[in-house]
Copies of this chain bind each other. A is one copy, B any other.
Amino acid sequence: MSDIRVLVVDDDFMVARIHAGYVARMPGFEVVATAHNGADAITAVAGSRPDLVLLDIYLPDMSGLEVLKAISGVDVLVISAARDVPTVREAMRGGAVNYLIKPFAAAALTERLQQYAHTRRQLSAIGPEAGQDDVDRLFGVTGTPPALPKGLSQATCALVATVLREAGRDLSAVETASLTGLSRVSARRYLEYLCGARRAELRPRYGTAGRPEHRYRWIG
C-alpha cells in the first residue's frame, strides 16, 4: 500500500516544521505539503490531494474551523492550543478524526497517526458493502454492548455463557471446549467476546513452564 499523504497546516513556521518532522519519521506516512494560513491550506488541499490534514485552529487569515468546512474529501486531524468546548465540538461536527491539544508529547501524535492508519486499513478491508457492524466499528461504538461480531451466533454464545456461569470457577479455553462440546478455537472466540463485553474476565495463570494459560471467569 502506498504512503498516506499528509498536509501540515500551522501558522508558526517552526511548529509546522516540527510536526512535519514527526510525520516524516512515521513509516507509511509522507508529508506532501505545508501551509501557514487558511487560504494556502485550501489551495494545498486542491493541489496536493493529501489523504490527511494536520490542521491548526489559530490561523492568521481565518479560523481552522472554516478551513475544515471548506475542504472536503480529506480527513483532518486537528492540532491546536484551542481547548474551549465549543471549538472542540465544532471540530467534531466538522468531521475531524481526532483532536490533539497543544502542547503534546511526540508519542501522542504518533499514537493517533497509527490509529488513523489502522482505521484506514480497516476501511479498505471492508469490501464493497459495509455491514452495520463495520460501521459501528468505524464510528467507535463505546459503552454499548457490541453486537456479536461476524461468525458468532447467539445460541452458541448463550451456551458458553451458561457453562462458564454454572462452572462456578475459572475455566481455560480447553476446559470450556470440552464442557461445551465445541472446538478449542470456537470456545476461545466466545470467551474472548464475553471478556470484551465485560461479562467475563481474563486472568492468566503462571507457574507452568510454557506459555501462560488464559483462565476465564464469569462476572455477570
- Identify the A interface with B (CB < 8 A): 69, 72-75, 83-85, 88-89, 92-101, 104, 107-108, 111, 114-115, 118, 123, 126-132, 134-135, 138-144, 146, 153, 155-156, 159, 180-183, 186, 202-204, 206-207, 212
User: What is the CA–CA distance of A126 and B206 in the complex, to the nearest angstrom?
Assistant: 42
User: What is the CA–CA distance of A131 and B114 in the complex, to the nearest angstrom?
Assistant: 21
In the complex, residue of chain B having the shortest beta-carbon distance to the beta carbon of A206: B182
Contacts of A131 in B (CB 8 A): 83, 101
Q: Is the Cβ of B207 less than 8 Å from the Cβ of A85?
A: no
Known pairs A89-B123, A180-B206. 20 more at Cβ < 8 A?
A74-B93, A83-B129, A83-B131, A84-B130, A88-B135, A92-B138, A93-B95, A94-B95, A98-B139, A99-B135, A100-B135, A111-B144, A114-B144, A115-B142, A118-B143, A118-B144, A153-B212, A159-B204, A182-B207, A186-B206
Q: Is the Cβ of B155 less than 8 Å from the Cβ of A101?
A: no
Q: Is the Cβ of B95 less than 8 Å from the Cβ of A155?
A: no
Q: Is the Cβ of A111 less than 8 Å from the Cβ of B146?
A: yes
Closest 8 CB pairs of A and B: A140-B140, A95-B95, A93-B95, A182-B206, A99-B135, A101-B132, A83-B129, A83-B130
What is the CB-to-nearest-CB distance from A213 to chain B, in angstroms, rounded to a whole number?
12
Contacts of A156 in B (CB 8 A): 204, 212
Q: Known: A98-B139, A123-B85. Is A132-B104 also a contact (CB below 8 A)?
A: yes
Q: Known: A138-B92, A207-B181. Is A108-B132 also a contact (CB below 8 A)?
A: yes
